[in-house]
Structure 1
Amino acid sequence: MSRVSLEGRVAVVTGAARGVGELLARKLSARGVKVALVGLEPDALKQVSARLHSESDHWYADVTDHEAMAEVAERVKERFGRIDIVVANAGVATGGPFVESDPESWRRVIEVNLIGSAVTARAFLPALLESRGYLLQIASLAALTPAPMMSAYCASKSGVEAYAHSLRGEVGHRGVKVGVGYLSWTDTDMVRGADQDDVMRELRQRLPWPSNKTYPLGPAVDRLVEGIERRSAHVYGQWWLRGMQGVRGYLPALIGTVGQREMRRFGDRLDGLRVGLVGAGGAADEEQRSGAATVRK
């Protein structure tokens, strides 16, 4: 598939204050893309925007708030005149046994990762239809492989994968392409935050190779940029994830068997384990909900 030049295009990136979103904004900007940054950390967004090579701006908004995101979409269109690319990247995570999980944190993972992605698409699709643009939905290895101790995250990422596949069929005839980006464990604040819990870190280290590694952020984001250039239906942040598509049908039964063994191994260490939203992004989300605002520049 041939690549298209990104020079002069306008891209919206949610969850742009750090991690995948921040680096993606920087790499798109280096290719001449005008970037609109959306997230919950206005100071961090401002700093990211100031470091970009091309024209940029930033907006504070909760991706689960339809009115706020609709207002952001309107303001971005006014600011840049068009929108060609939207990357639905905002996400949070929690872990631990479902039966003892914090209900609010569990629900919030679904709200941000799944509902927030749909709200993002709903807000920006009118502009993408005008430009015959491209929507990249960031999913995860978690969409391909269910995993014990990650029920909310796996459910949310499986959900956004299915939703994006459905949307692709709805809007393709109108010129809008929809892609799904898959990432394994990548060196971000979210993964580092999850690793702060000894049980979660050890369980991840016991996964089979190559799923037990933490991968550098740069090469993964380079692959996302290439996917945007190609308007790809599937984008794989790590080389081996493409191969998982062919075996994913066998994985639930396998992981169900192996998962029971691992849960027995960790036994009493699981008692009382309650993990809230992890990493700096999770902390920002919890702070936002405790003091709530809507749209702010």
Structure 2
Amino acid sequence: MSILGSRRDLTGQVAVVTGAARGVGELLARKLSARGARVALLGLEPEQLREVADSLPGESACWHADVTDTAVMERTAREVVECFGAVDVVVANAGVAAGGPFAESDDATWRRVIEVNLIGSTVTCRAFLPALLASKGYFLQIASLAALTPAPLMTAYCASKSGVEAFAHSLRAELGYRGVRVGVGYLSWTDTDMVRGADEDDVMREMRRTLPWPTNRTYPLEPAVDRLVAGIERRSAHVYGQWWLRGMQPVRGHLPSIIGTFGAREMRRFAPRLADGTRRGLVGAGGAADERTRTPAADG
């Protein structure tokens, strides 16, 4: 996270968090509320969202919203402003993941990762941008280690997170003179339902363990979210959920070649076990929620 700039008091600030029913989004909502922010929680699991909202120490409200649905998100943004009077911070956190070889991947599942992670982030930003312009607020886009380096068996996720990183960087240049700050949050493998769901796949779990330290570890959730909160308080351009991710930036240009060589070797080793084609759809509880609630329009 940036060490530049002073921290802003979040008391009374209105923060919108997508994907707030669990994982990073849930804990982020809790920590923002504990710092005095008024929190709008968005997601696909209404019961879990209500439970989280009801347990927060400060003012909060929740909305059942699919971030890929433009009409729903525009209506939600209007309702959030009507409820709280303004929006000061938006965190585009909602995301899904799927693993496995691209050649055998299900087209609808692959597209859904792109739709939720990339298109959903842009829909979220477009819906809340008028409010952010009015408040001269802050938009934090949650990206990933997957934006910094490619990885086999993660084509959709890597493509989506590289895309949201580029989107946020471009947006920063567009909005800076209008008073809106834009940040990118980077997280490595963090202990969430998504990562635990990915680890249920034996090949993906074992391949990840062959990565060099520190990329082969799963990191605790709370310290990562604490860093995100500090980045929001500073309205940082870059926020690193794990300390070592900052060091990836200067060498990221070399990583595709390294991963290309290393990944090809590992793919050859795991090929017999990948040949059975037994891959699941979206991973984790969040992925299951998305598949349960997906509309026909989203499938198209």
Band of TM-score, shorter chain? over 0.9
What's 2:288 paired with?
283
1:182 to 181, 186, 194: 186
Question: Which residue identity is paired with 1:61?
Answer: A
| SS, match of residue 92 in structure 1 | coil
- How many Å apart are 1:273 and its aligned residue? 3.7
TM-score scaled by structure 2? Answer: 0.96
8 Å CA contact 1:102–1:274 kept in 2: the answer is no
| SS, match of residue 196 in structure 2 | helix
What's 1:45 paired with?
49
The CA distance in 2 between the partners of 1:210 and 1:40, in whole Å, is: 33
What's 2:238 paired with?
234
Instruction: Indicate yes or no: 2:175 matched with 1:171.
Output: yes
What's 1:57 paired with?
61
Instruction: Indicate yes or no: 2:29 matched with 1:25.
Output: yes
Instruction: Indicate yes or no: 2:20 matched with 1:4.
Output: no
The CA distance in 2 between the partners of 1:145 and 1:57, in whole Å, is: 36
What's 2:129 paired with?
125
- How many Å apart are 1:163 and its aligned residue? 0.4
- How many Å apart are 1:274 and its aligned residue? 2.2
The CA distance in 2 between the partners of 1:169 and 1:26, in whole Å, is: 30
Instruction: Indicate yes or no: 2:75 matched with 1:71.
Output: yes
What's 2:250 paired with?
246
The CA distance in 2 between the partners of 1:285 and 1:106, in whole Å, is: 13
What's 2:109 paired with?
105
The CA distance in 1 between the partners of 2:107 and 2:296, in whole Å, is: 20
What's 1:149 paired with?
153
- How many Å apart are 1:290 and its aligned residue? 5.8
Show structure 1 runs of 4+ deviating over 3 A: 290-293
Instruction: Indicate yes or no: 2:197 matched with 1:193.
Output: yes
The CA distance in 2 between the partners of 1:130 and 1:156, in whole Å, is: 29
The CA distance in 2 between the partners of 1:232 and 1:289, in whole Å, is: 34
- How many Å apart are 1:289 and its aligned residue? 1.2
The CA distance in 2 between the partners of 1:80 and 1:175, in whole Å, is: 21
The runs of 5 or more residues in structure 2 that have no matched partner are none
Question: Which residue identity is paired with 2:90?
Answer: V
Question: Which residue identity is paired with 2:40?
Answer: A
The runs of 5 or more residues in structure 1 that have no matched partner are none
Aligned residues between the structures: 293
What's 1:255 paired with?
259
Question: Which residue identity is paired with 1:270?
Answer: L
The CA distance in 1 between the partners of 2:7 and 2:215, in whole Å, is: 29
The CA distance in 1 between the partners of 2:265 and 2:204, in whole Å, is: 15
The CA distance in 2 between the partners of 1:76 and 1:160, in whole Å, is: 24
Question: Which residue identity is paired with 2:279?
Answer: R
- How many Å apart are 1:291 and its aligned residue? 8.0
Identity %: 75
What's 2:84 paired with?
80
The CA distance in 1 between the partners of 2:204 and 2:270, in whole Å, is: 10
| SS, match of residue 285 in structure 2 | helix
TM-score scaled by structure 1? Answer: 0.97
- How many Å apart are 1:292 and its aligned residue? 8.4
Cα offsets for 1:197-238 (capped at 9, x unmatched): 111110111111000000000000000000000000000000
8 Å CA contact 1:100–1:273 kept in 2: the answer is no
8 Å CA contact 1:39–1:45 kept in 2: the answer is yes
